[in-house]
Structure 1
Amino acid sequence: MNKKMLVTATLIALIVGFAVATNWYRGAEAERVETIADESTNVLVPGHAMSLGPEDAQVVLVEFFDPACETCAMFHKPVKDLLKQYPERLRLVLRYAPFHHGSEDVAKMLEAARLQGKYWEALEVMFATQRRWASHHHPQPELLWELLPAAGLELDMERMRQDFAGFQIDSIVQKDIADAATLGIRKTPGFLVNGRQLPSFGLAQLHQLVAEEMAAKYTK
């Protein structure tokens, strides 16, 4: 074997080895997350988490989202459409993974609005106005203090600021951040369906995983 062939063979071996190692790692990581989810529901679906859909649904979609994440905003409607597709069988649970600068404060604003019964309305305004306050070059999450009431949400803003600064809300956000780390969530949106991660990211992959769990749980 000449030198050129030896180099080529070595490169091929390295590429194959890397691919095998990558696939093994992904499989091992997915198995680790599913094990954690099976052993501790509190890590995946804690009591404080906001949710939509029937609580007795056998398929639970957990979404870790970042309020400033553009992809999270893009997936907002498709995820709601999934709930419409399976109105009696799918439950959506929202968790925070505030990776962007300022996002942790926005998560706290959402929780403060929640204490006044306006969580879902505030979430809609947050995503609808994301381009105004979440510029990656100059994020201004403080603008939401003006944007929320300007959108017609009847909020007691003084009370909201007090709740925003409280320990109760901070502990909720910190719990989500810790659970995201435990589950290996490194980017958003991060989806888990009955504790299973997407094999690769994409809307089609999300639909497929939900369909698989629907078949497993509801097909007699």
Structure 2
Amino acid sequence: MTDEAPAPETAPVRPVRFSGALAGYLALGVSVVALGLAAAPYFTGGSGDNVRAYLLEHPEVLQEVSLALQAKEGQARVDETNAAASSNAALLAPDRRDPAFGPADAKVTVIEFFDFRCPGCKAVAPQFRDLMAAHPDVRFVFKDWPILDRGEDVASQYAARAALAAHQQGKYLEVYDALMTERALTVESIDRILAQHGVDMARAKATLVSPETTRHIADIHTTAAALKLQGTPTFFVNGKAAASIDPAEIDRMIEAAKK
């Protein structure tokens, strides 16, 4: 199979979160200005030299302010997403097309928006699967949201389609695990993973290019845009967005929702 399954033209591509370093530099620039303005009145004569000297002697203050700013901005994004979700319950309503595991009438539902090439998604995938084993009474829903493709590189899109094809054959979780483990996803490596896990390749290739699969992924893009999601992975527990990708935080939210 060649890369003939590009993302639908109507599907918006959402930006991923800034890397930790870039976010830190951006926040740091604002932090220096804010800290200087706030601290200046407390130094003799309001001298900028005194402010500079203080910051040079106490660089940890810049890091603290930067981290506080990032936390505040992150919480603002979560609040914005939760406001969007609460104003339109249909955005996170059950979709029979999504791979889902656990009781359909579960008291708690966890939804993950992810990209198979997202480093954060790969890092937390094993622990997320552990959560599924630890909470058999919870419904876990997977929303394949490919956002990392650029130009002719369509590995994220292809992986999402391949996983959905595996789902139609009852092999989603094993293929999900293998795709998350594979460090370099390509069309060839994805096909190899499907074959290794007993997926009928003729049926899979038909699903890969089907209009239904295209519409499914386009709808996930649309939902993510409406929820104002900024990157992957993003987790929801009973319709509330998690402020962290840490599986321990997801576990705490699950336990709280069970009470």
Do both share a fold (TM > 0.5)?
Answer: yes
Of 206, 209, 219, the residue aligned with 2:250 is: 206
The total of aligned residue pairs comes to 202
Of 139, 144, 161, the residue aligned with 1:96 is: 144
Alignment CA distance shift 1:7-1:28 (3 Å): same
SS of alignment partner, residue 2 of structure 1:
helix
Q: What corresponds to 1:69 in structure 2?
A: 118
Question: Do 1:122 and 1:153's aligned partners in 2 also have CA atoms closer than 8 Å?
Answer: no
Q: What corresponds to 2:232 in structure 1?
A: 188
- Give the drift of 1:64: 0.7
Take 1:126 and 1:95, find their aligned partners in 2: how far apart are those partners? 15
Of 165, 171, 179, the residue aligned with 1:112 is: 165
Q: Which runs of 5 or more structure 1 residues have no equivalent in the other structure?
A: 135-139, 216-220
Take 1:23 and 1:67, find their aligned partners in 2: how far apart are those partners? 26
SS of alignment partner, residue 64 of structure 1:
strand
Take 1:7 and 1:108, find their aligned partners in 2: how far apart are those partners? 59
- The AA in structure 1 aligned to 2:134 is Q
Q: What corresponds to 2:103 in structure 1?
A: 54
SS of alignment partner, residue 56 of structure 1:
coil
Percent identity (aligned): 23
Q: What corresponds to 1:145 in structure 2?
A: 191
Of 159, 173, 177, the residue aligned with 1:124 is: 177
Q: Once the two structures are superposed, what CA deviation does each residue of 1:46-68 show, in whole Å capped at 9, x if it has no partner? A: 41221111111121111111111
| Residue 4 (structure 1) aligned with residue 47 (structure 2) | yes
Q: What corresponds to 2:5 in structure 1?
A: none
Take 2:114 and 2:161, find their aligned partners in 1: how far apart are those partners? 13
Q: Once the two structures are superposed, what CA deviation does each residue of 1:65-104 show, in whole Å capped at 9, x if it has no partner? A: 111123323322212222232222x111111221222201
Question: Do 2:115 and 2:232's aligned partners in 1 also have CA atoms closer than 8 Å?
Answer: yes
Alignment CA distance shift 1:123-1:195 (3 Å): same
- The AA in structure 2 aligned to 1:186 is Q
Take 2:99 and 2:246, find their aligned partners in 1: how far apart are those partners? 23
Take 1:107 and 1:61, find their aligned partners in 2: how far apart are those partners? 19
Q: What corresponds to 2:204 in structure 1?
A: 160
| Residue 175 (structure 1) aligned with residue 219 (structure 2) | yes
SS of alignment partner, residue 191 of structure 1:
strand
Take 2:233 and 2:188, find their aligned partners in 1: how far apart are those partners? 23
Alignment CA distance shift 1:158-1:60 (3 Å): same
Take 1:36 and 1:50, find their aligned partners in 2: how far apart are those partners? 23
Root mean square deviation, CA, Å:
2.9
Alignment CA distance shift 1:7-1:22 (3 Å): farther
Q: Which runs of 5 or more structure 2 residues have no equivalent in the other structure?
A: 1-43, 56-61, 150-154
- Give the drift of 1:177: 1.6
**What TM-score do you get using the length of structure 2 for normalisation?**
0.66
- The AA in structure 2 aligned to 1:58 is K
Q: Once the two structures are superposed, what CA deviation does each residue of 1:162-206 show, in whole Å capped at 9, x if it has no partner? A: 221111001111111221222232222111111222233423322
SS of alignment partner, residue 220 of structure 2:
helix
Take 1:104 and 1:62, find their aligned partners in 2: how far apart are those partners? 19
